[in-house]
Protein backbone atom coordinates (compact mmCIF):
# COMPACT_ATOMS: atom_id res chain seq x y z
CA UNK A 1 0.00 0.00 0.00
CA UNK A 2 2.77 2.42 0.98
CA UNK A 3 4.69 1.68 -2.19
CA UNK A 4 1.53 2.02 -4.30
CA UNK A 5 0.97 5.53 -2.96
CA UNK A 6 4.62 6.49 -3.13
CA UNK A 7 5.03 5.41 -6.75
CA UNK A 8 1.93 7.31 -7.86
CA UNK A 9 2.95 10.50 -6.07
CA UNK A 10 6.46 10.23 -7.44
CA UNK A 11 5.05 9.87 -10.97
CA UNK A 12 2.72 12.83 -10.36
CA UNK A 13 5.64 14.99 -9.33
CA UNK A 14 7.33 14.33 -12.65
CA UNK A 15 4.42 13.91 -15.08
CA UNK A 16 1.44 15.67 -13.50
CA UNK A 17 -0.45 18.24 -15.54
CA UNK A 18 -0.13 21.98 -15.02
CA UNK A 19 -3.78 23.08 -14.88
CA UNK A 20 -5.13 26.58 -14.12
CA UNK A 21 -7.14 25.57 -11.04
CA UNK A 22 -4.08 23.95 -9.47
CA UNK A 23 -2.66 27.44 -9.01
CA UNK A 24 -5.75 28.47 -7.04
CA UNK A 25 -6.09 28.35 -3.28
CA UNK A 26 -9.49 30.08 -3.15
CA UNK A 27 -12.07 27.32 -2.52
CA UNK A 28 -14.52 29.22 -4.72
CA UNK A 29 -12.17 29.04 -7.69
CA UNK A 30 -11.63 25.33 -7.06
CA UNK A 31 -15.37 24.75 -6.70
CA UNK A 32 -16.01 26.43 -10.07
CA UNK A 33 -13.44 24.19 -11.73
CA UNK A 34 -14.98 21.03 -10.23
CA UNK A 35 -18.44 21.95 -11.51
CA UNK A 36 -17.21 22.86 -14.99
CA UNK A 37 -15.28 19.60 -15.17
CA UNK A 38 -18.31 17.41 -14.47
CA UNK A 39 -18.69 15.22 -17.57
CA UNK A 40 -16.61 17.74 -19.48
CA UNK A 41 -13.08 17.44 -20.78
CA UNK A 42 -10.28 19.64 -19.48
CA UNK A 43 -9.62 21.13 -22.92
CA UNK A 44 -13.24 22.23 -23.19
CA UNK A 45 -13.27 23.84 -19.75
CA UNK A 46 -10.08 25.90 -19.95
CA UNK A 47 -11.32 28.78 -22.14
CA UNK A 48 -14.39 29.17 -19.93
CA UNK A 49 -12.60 29.02 -16.60
CA UNK A 50 -10.62 32.25 -16.35
CA UNK A 51 -13.40 34.13 -18.14
CA UNK A 52 -15.81 32.98 -15.44
CA UNK A 53 -13.53 34.08 -12.60
CA UNK A 54 -13.00 37.47 -14.25
CA UNK A 55 -16.75 37.97 -14.57
CA UNK A 56 -17.67 36.54 -11.14
CA UNK A 57 -14.53 37.01 -8.97
CA UNK A 58 -16.17 36.07 -5.66
CA UNK A 59 -19.06 33.99 -4.37
CA UNK A 60 -20.97 37.17 -3.58
CA UNK A 61 -20.50 38.47 -7.14
CA UNK A 62 -22.00 35.24 -8.43
CA UNK A 63 -24.83 35.28 -5.90
CA UNK A 64 -26.01 38.79 -6.82
CA UNK A 65 -25.65 38.24 -10.57
CA UNK A 66 -28.72 37.79 -12.76
CA UNK A 67 -29.36 34.17 -13.76
CA UNK A 68 -29.47 35.16 -17.43
CA UNK A 69 -25.96 36.64 -17.09
CA UNK A 70 -24.80 33.43 -15.46
CA UNK A 71 -26.29 31.29 -18.24
CA UNK A 72 -24.69 33.54 -20.86
CA UNK A 73 -21.27 32.93 -19.29
CA UNK A 74 -22.00 29.19 -19.38
CA UNK A 75 -23.35 29.21 -22.95
CA UNK A 76 -21.87 26.33 -24.95
CA UNK A 77 -20.63 24.28 -21.99
CA UNK A 78 -23.78 22.17 -21.79
CA UNK A 79 -25.56 20.59 -18.81
CA UNK A 80 -26.98 23.99 -17.91
CA UNK A 81 -28.34 22.76 -14.57
CA UNK A 82 -24.73 23.09 -13.45
CA UNK A 83 -24.86 26.85 -14.00
CA UNK A 84 -28.27 27.16 -12.37
CA UNK A 85 -27.07 25.14 -9.36
CA UNK A 86 -23.80 27.10 -9.11
CA UNK A 87 -25.83 30.30 -8.95
CA UNK A 88 -28.23 28.77 -6.42
CA UNK A 89 -25.42 27.44 -4.22
CA UNK A 90 -23.72 30.85 -4.21
CA UNK A 91 -26.94 32.20 -2.72
CA UNK A 92 -26.93 29.39 -0.14
CA UNK A 93 -23.35 30.23 0.89
CA UNK A 94 -24.06 33.94 1.24
CA UNK A 95 -27.20 33.24 3.27
CA UNK A 96 -26.07 30.30 5.41
CA UNK A 97 -22.29 30.76 5.67
CA UNK A 98 -21.84 34.52 5.42
CA UNK A 99 -20.31 34.14 1.95
CA UNK A 100 -17.53 31.83 3.13
CA UNK A 101 -17.26 28.41 1.48
CA UNK A 102 -17.89 25.74 4.16
CA UNK A 103 -15.20 23.21 5.10
CA UNK A 104 -17.30 20.35 6.49
CA UNK A 105 -18.32 17.53 4.18
CA UNK A 106 -21.92 17.39 5.41
CA UNK A 107 -22.31 21.12 4.83
CA UNK A 108 -20.72 21.03 1.38
CA UNK A 109 -23.04 18.19 0.38
CA UNK A 110 -26.07 20.39 1.05
CA UNK A 111 -24.97 22.81 -1.69
CA UNK A 112 -26.81 22.56 -5.01
CA UNK A 113 -24.91 20.66 -7.69
CA UNK A 114 -22.34 19.15 -5.33
CA UNK A 115 -22.40 15.38 -4.86
CA UNK A 116 -19.96 12.96 -3.28
CA UNK A 117 -17.21 13.16 -5.91
CA UNK A 118 -17.33 16.93 -6.29
CA UNK A 119 -17.37 17.44 -2.52
CA UNK A 120 -14.35 15.19 -2.10
CA UNK A 121 -12.60 16.92 -4.98
CA UNK A 122 -13.14 20.38 -3.52
CA UNK A 123 -12.29 19.54 0.09
CA UNK A 124 -9.16 17.62 -0.83
CA UNK A 125 -7.94 20.22 -3.33
CA UNK A 126 -8.80 23.32 -1.30
CA UNK A 127 -8.13 22.13 2.25
CA UNK A 128 -6.11 18.93 1.83
CA UNK A 129 -8.82 16.91 3.57
CA UNK A 130 -8.67 13.11 3.10
CA UNK A 131 -11.95 12.57 1.20
CA UNK A 132 -11.79 10.19 -1.71
CA UNK A 133 -13.23 10.74 -5.18
CA UNK A 134 -14.73 8.53 -7.89
CA UNK A 135 -14.89 10.28 -11.25
CA UNK A 136 -14.61 8.76 -14.70
CA UNK A 137 -10.82 8.62 -14.58
CA UNK A 138 -10.72 6.96 -11.17
CA UNK A 139 -13.39 4.44 -12.13
CA UNK A 140 -11.33 3.38 -15.15
CA UNK A 141 -8.01 3.22 -13.27
CA UNK A 142 -9.45 1.23 -10.38
CA UNK A 143 -11.45 -1.06 -12.66
CA UNK A 144 -8.19 -2.06 -14.32
CA UNK A 145 -6.19 -2.17 -11.10
CA UNK A 146 -8.44 -4.93 -9.71
CA UNK A 147 -9.58 -6.30 -13.10
CA UNK A 148 -13.19 -5.57 -12.16
CA UNK A 149 -15.29 -8.33 -13.77
CA UNK A 150 -18.46 -6.19 -14.12
CA UNK A 151 -19.21 -2.74 -15.57
CA UNK A 152 -18.24 0.04 -13.09
CA UNK A 153 -21.87 1.15 -12.74
CA UNK A 154 -22.65 -2.23 -11.15
CA UNK A 155 -19.85 -1.92 -8.58
CA UNK A 156 -20.01 1.70 -7.48
CA UNK A 157 -19.87 1.01 -3.76
CA UNK A 158 -16.97 -1.39 -4.18
CA UNK A 159 -15.08 1.23 -6.18
CA UNK A 160 -15.76 3.90 -3.55
CA UNK A 161 -14.42 1.55 -0.92
CA UNK A 162 -11.29 1.00 -2.98
CA UNK A 163 -10.80 4.74 -3.48
CA UNK A 164 -11.24 5.22 0.29
CA UNK A 165 -8.68 2.52 1.05
CA UNK A 166 -6.10 3.80 -1.39
CA UNK A 167 -6.12 7.54 -0.66
CA UNK A 168 -2.95 8.71 1.03
CA UNK A 169 -3.95 10.23 4.40
CA UNK A 170 -0.70 12.18 4.41
CA UNK A 171 -1.16 13.67 0.92
CA UNK A 172 -4.86 13.53 0.02
CA UNK A 173 -4.77 16.56 -2.29
CA UNK A 174 -1.90 15.32 -4.42
CA UNK A 175 -3.11 11.74 -4.33
CA UNK A 176 -6.54 12.55 -5.75
CA UNK A 177 -5.07 14.82 -8.41
CA UNK A 178 -2.47 12.18 -9.27
CA UNK A 179 -5.11 9.48 -9.64
CA UNK A 180 -7.08 11.63 -12.10
CA UNK A 181 -3.94 12.52 -14.03
CA UNK A 182 -3.00 8.87 -14.27
CA UNK A 183 -6.37 8.16 -15.86
CA UNK A 184 -6.16 11.17 -18.18
CA UNK A 185 -2.55 10.67 -19.33
CA UNK A 186 -1.56 7.01 -18.94
CA UNK A 187 -4.55 4.82 -18.12
CA UNK A 188 -6.61 6.18 -21.01
CA UNK A 189 -9.70 4.39 -22.23
CA UNK A 190 -8.15 3.52 -25.58
CA UNK A 191 -4.55 2.36 -25.98
CA UNK A 192 -3.40 2.81 -22.35
CA UNK A 193 0.35 3.43 -21.97
CA UNK A 194 1.02 0.65 -19.51
CA UNK A 195 4.76 0.79 -20.15
CA UNK A 196 4.78 4.27 -18.60
CA UNK A 197 2.46 3.45 -15.70
CA UNK A 198 3.75 3.59 -12.12
CA UNK A 199 1.13 1.00 -11.18
CA UNK A 200 2.05 -1.56 -13.83
CA UNK A 201 3.52 -3.90 -11.15
CA UNK A 202 0.22 -3.86 -9.22
CA UNK A 203 -2.28 -3.85 -12.08
CA UNK A 204 -4.32 -7.04 -12.41
CA UNK A 205 -5.66 -6.04 -15.82
CA UNK A 206 -2.10 -5.68 -17.11
CA UNK A 207 -0.92 -8.93 -15.60
CA UNK A 208 -3.84 -10.67 -17.31
CA UNK A 209 -3.36 -8.77 -20.58
CA UNK A 210 -6.89 -7.43 -20.18
CA UNK A 211 -6.19 -3.67 -20.08
CA UNK A 212 -7.71 -3.09 -23.51
CA UNK A 213 -10.91 -4.94 -22.57
CA UNK A 214 -11.45 -3.12 -19.25
CA UNK A 215 -13.44 -1.48 -17.89
CA UNK A 216 -16.37 -3.58 -19.07
CA UNK A 217 -19.16 -1.67 -20.76
CA UNK A 218 -22.84 -2.35 -21.02
CA UNK A 219 -24.70 -2.19 -24.30
CA UNK A 220 -27.00 0.75 -24.83
CA UNK A 221 -30.17 0.82 -26.94
CA UNK A 222 -30.17 3.04 -30.04
CA UNK A 223 -31.15 6.66 -29.48
CA UNK A 224 -34.57 7.88 -30.65
CA UNK A 225 -34.65 10.50 -33.37
CA UNK A 226 -37.06 13.45 -33.48
CA UNK A 227 -37.78 15.87 -36.32
CA UNK A 228 -38.42 19.38 -35.05
CA UNK A 229 -40.05 22.19 -36.98
CA UNK A 230 -38.49 25.56 -36.04
CA UNK A 231 -39.69 29.07 -36.87
CA UNK A 232 -37.68 32.25 -37.47
CA UNK A 233 -40.63 34.63 -37.24
CA UNK A 234 -40.14 38.16 -38.56
CA UNK A 235 -42.58 41.04 -38.28
CA UNK A 236 -42.94 44.08 -40.52
CA UNK A 237 -40.18 45.93 -38.63
CA UNK A 238 -37.77 43.06 -39.28
CA UNK A 239 -37.72 42.01 -35.62
CA UNK A 240 -37.31 38.31 -34.78
CA UNK A 241 -39.38 36.42 -32.19
CA UNK A 242 -37.53 34.30 -29.61
CA UNK A 243 -38.75 32.57 -26.45
CA UNK A 244 -37.23 31.52 -23.15
CA UNK A 245 -37.54 27.86 -22.22
CA UNK A 246 -38.99 26.71 -18.86
CA UNK A 247 -36.57 27.23 -15.97
CA UNK A 248 -35.87 23.53 -15.41
CA UNK A 249 -35.38 20.51 -17.63
CA UNK A 250 -33.66 20.34 -21.00
CA UNK A 251 -31.82 23.58 -21.79
CA UNK A 252 -33.74 25.22 -18.93
CA UNK A 253 -33.70 29.01 -18.93
CA UNK A 254 -32.06 29.31 -22.33
CA UNK A 255 -33.60 31.17 -25.28
CA UNK A 256 -34.55 29.53 -28.55
CA UNK A 257 -36.38 29.92 -31.80
CA UNK A 258 -39.87 28.49 -31.17
CA UNK A 259 -41.06 25.22 -32.68
CA UNK A 260 -41.79 21.63 -31.83
CA UNK A 261 -41.98 17.98 -32.77
CA UNK A 262 -43.31 17.02 -36.18
CA UNK A 263 -46.11 14.49 -35.65
CA UNK A 264 -46.58 11.48 -37.94
CA UNK A 265 -48.37 12.37 -41.18
CA UNK A 266 -47.76 16.07 -40.57
CA UNK A 267 -45.90 18.39 -42.91
CA UNK A 268 -43.16 20.66 -41.58
CA UNK A 269 -45.25 23.68 -42.49
CA UNK A 270 -48.32 22.38 -40.65
CA UNK A 271 -46.20 21.50 -37.61
CA UNK A 272 -44.63 24.94 -37.37
CA UNK A 273 -47.96 26.73 -37.77
CA UNK A 274 -49.57 24.51 -35.11
CA UNK A 275 -46.70 24.76 -32.62
CA UNK A 276 -46.51 28.54 -32.83
CA UNK A 277 -50.24 28.83 -32.22
CA UNK A 278 -50.06 26.42 -29.25
CA UNK A 279 -46.91 27.89 -27.68
CA UNK A 280 -47.24 31.59 -28.40
CA UNK A 281 -50.76 32.12 -29.63
CA UNK A 282 -50.04 33.95 -32.87
CA UNK A 283 -50.78 33.33 -36.54
CA UNK A 284 -47.91 33.01 -38.99
CA UNK A 285 -47.25 32.12 -42.58
CA UNK A 286 -44.49 29.56 -43.10
CA UNK A 287 -42.09 30.68 -45.82
CA UNK A 288 -38.69 29.59 -47.18
CA UNK A 289 -36.51 26.90 -45.68
CA UNK A 290 -33.46 28.47 -43.98
CA UNK A 291 -31.34 25.56 -42.73
CA UNK A 292 -31.57 22.06 -41.29
CA UNK A 293 -29.41 21.03 -38.35
CA UNK A 294 -28.62 17.58 -37.04
CA UNK A 295 -27.77 17.56 -33.36
CA UNK A 296 -27.13 14.77 -30.85
CA UNK A 297 -28.06 15.10 -27.21
CA UNK A 298 -27.24 12.50 -24.60
CA UNK A 299 -30.49 10.57 -24.88
CA UNK A 300 -31.88 11.41 -28.32
CA UNK A 301 -31.07 12.99 -31.64
CA UNK A 302 -32.87 15.76 -33.41
CA UNK A 303 -33.10 17.29 -36.84
CA UNK A 304 -34.11 20.93 -36.66
CA UNK A 305 -35.88 21.98 -39.87
CA UNK A 306 -35.85 25.77 -39.79
CA UNK A 307 -38.13 27.98 -41.86
CA UNK A 308 -38.51 31.70 -42.19
CA UNK A 309 -42.00 32.74 -41.12
CA UNK A 310 -44.04 35.93 -41.47
CA UNK A 311 -45.97 37.29 -38.50
CA UNK A 312 -49.64 37.70 -39.41
CA UNK A 313 -51.47 38.59 -36.19
CA UNK A 314 -52.32 37.94 -32.57
CA UNK A 315 -50.61 39.06 -29.36
CA UNK A 316 -47.57 36.88 -28.55
CA UNK A 317 -48.12 35.21 -25.17
CA UNK A 318 -45.77 32.88 -23.21
CA UNK A 319 -48.17 29.91 -23.13
CA UNK A 320 -45.70 26.99 -23.14
CA UNK A 321 -42.57 29.03 -22.35
CA UNK A 322 -41.44 31.57 -19.76
CA UNK A 323 -41.16 34.66 -21.92
CA UNK A 324 -41.37 35.81 -25.53
CA UNK A 325 -39.54 38.74 -27.04
CA UNK A 326 -39.01 40.56 -30.35
CA UNK A 327 -35.31 41.22 -30.93
CA UNK A 328 -32.98 42.51 -33.62
CA UNK A 329 -30.21 40.39 -35.07
CA UNK A 330 -27.74 42.78 -33.42
CA UNK A 331 -28.98 42.37 -29.83
CA UNK A 332 -29.63 38.63 -30.07
CA UNK A 333 -26.08 37.88 -28.89
CA UNK A 334 -26.94 39.11 -25.39
CA UNK A 335 -29.23 36.11 -24.85
CA UNK A 336 -27.96 32.61 -23.97
CA UNK A 337 -28.83 30.08 -26.68
CA UNK A 338 -28.21 26.33 -27.00
CA UNK A 339 -25.56 25.28 -29.51
CA UNK A 340 -27.97 24.05 -32.15
CA UNK A 341 -29.66 27.45 -32.12
CA UNK A 342 -26.45 29.44 -32.49
CA UNK A 343 -26.06 27.70 -35.84
CA UNK A 344 -29.41 29.18 -36.86
CA UNK A 345 -28.17 32.63 -35.86
CA UNK A 346 -25.05 32.14 -37.99
CA UNK A 347 -27.19 31.18 -40.96
CA UNK A 348 -29.33 34.28 -40.45
CA UNK A 349 -26.24 36.49 -40.42
CA UNK A 350 -24.94 34.93 -43.64
CA UNK A 351 -28.26 35.59 -45.34
CA UNK A 352 -28.09 39.31 -44.52
Of residues 45 and 203, the one with the C-beta less far from DNA: 45
| Contacting residue, 137, 273, 332, 335, with DNA by CB under 7 A | 137
Report, in Å, the least distance between residue 279 CB and DNA: 17
Task: Kindly give the pairing relationship between strand 225-234 and strand 301-313.
Answer: parallel
CA pair distance 184, 139, nearest whole angstrom: 12
* Torsion angle of the four alpha carbons 11, 13, 16, 17, in this order, in degrees rounded to the nearest 10: -170
Question: Is 279 annotated to bind ligand?
Answer: yes
CA distance 278 to 272: 10
Q: Between 134 and 280, name the residue whose CB sits nearer to DNA.
A: 134
Which positions from 34 through 73 interact with DNA, judged by CB under 7 A? 34, 37-44
User: Any binding-site annotation on 245?
Assistant: yes
Q: Choose which of 340, 344, 345, 348 interacts with DNA (CB under 7 A).
A: 340
* Whether the Cβ atoms of residue 295 and residue 223 lie closer than 8 Å to each other: no
Q: How far apart are CA 233 and CA 44, in angstroms?
A: 33
Residue partners of 300: CB distance under 8 A and separation at least 6: 223, 224, 225, 226
User: How is the chain split among helix, strand and coil, in percent rounded to 5?
Assistant: 45, 15, 40
Nearer to DNA, 85 or 103 (CB): 85
State the minimum distance, in angstroms, from the CB of residue 239 to DNA.
24
Residue 230, SS3 per DSSP: strand
Size of the site for DNA (CB under 7 A): 59
Report the distance separating Cα 155 and Cα 134, nearest Å: 12
Chain residues 103-122 in contact with DNA, contact rule CB under 7 A: 112-119, 121
Tell whether residue 338 is among the known ligand binding residues. no
C-beta of residue 215 within 8 angstroms of C-beta of residue 143: yes
Which candidate, 227, 243, 301, places its Cα nearest to that of 276? 243
User: Which string of x and - marks every residue 6-25 that binds DNA (by CB under 7 A)?
Assistant: -------------x-xx---
- Quick check: bond before 145 cis, omega within 30? no
Convert 215-234 into a string of H (helix), E (strand) and C (coil): CCCCCCCCCCEEEEEEEEEE
Q: Which of 27, 48, 71, 135 binds DNA (CB under 7 A)?
A: 135
Report, in Å, the least distance between residue 330 CB and DNA: 22
Is 34 labeled as catalytic in the residue annotation? Answer: yes
| 220 counts as binding DNA under rule CB under 7 A | yes
Min CB(285)–DNA separation in Å: 29
Q: Is 258 annotated as a binding residue?
A: yes
**Sign of the dihedral defined by the CA atoms of residues 317, 320, 324, 328, in that order:** negative
- Measured from the CB atom, is 91 or 252 closer to DNA? 252
Catalytic pick from 3, 10, 34, 269? 34
**Residue numbering of the annotated binding site:** 245, 256-259, 279, 341
**Residue numbering of the annotated binding site for Mg(2+):** 259, 279
Catalytic center residues = 34
Query: Contact positions toward DNA, by CB under 7 A?
Result: 19, 21-22, 33-34, 37-44, 76-81, 85, 112-119, 121, 135-137, 139-140, 177, 180-181, 183-184, 189-191, 217, 219-220, 222-223, 249-252, 295-299, 338-340
Amino acid sequence: MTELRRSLLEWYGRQGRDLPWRHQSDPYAIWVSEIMLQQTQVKTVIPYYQRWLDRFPTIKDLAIADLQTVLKAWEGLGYYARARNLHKAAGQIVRDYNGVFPQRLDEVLTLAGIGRTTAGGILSAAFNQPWSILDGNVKRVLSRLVALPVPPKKAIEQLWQLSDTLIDPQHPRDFNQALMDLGAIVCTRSRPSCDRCPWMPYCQAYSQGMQAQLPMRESSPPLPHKRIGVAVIRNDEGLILIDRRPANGLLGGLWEFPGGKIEPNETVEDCIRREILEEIGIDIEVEDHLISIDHAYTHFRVTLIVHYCRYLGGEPKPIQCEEVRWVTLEEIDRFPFPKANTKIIEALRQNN
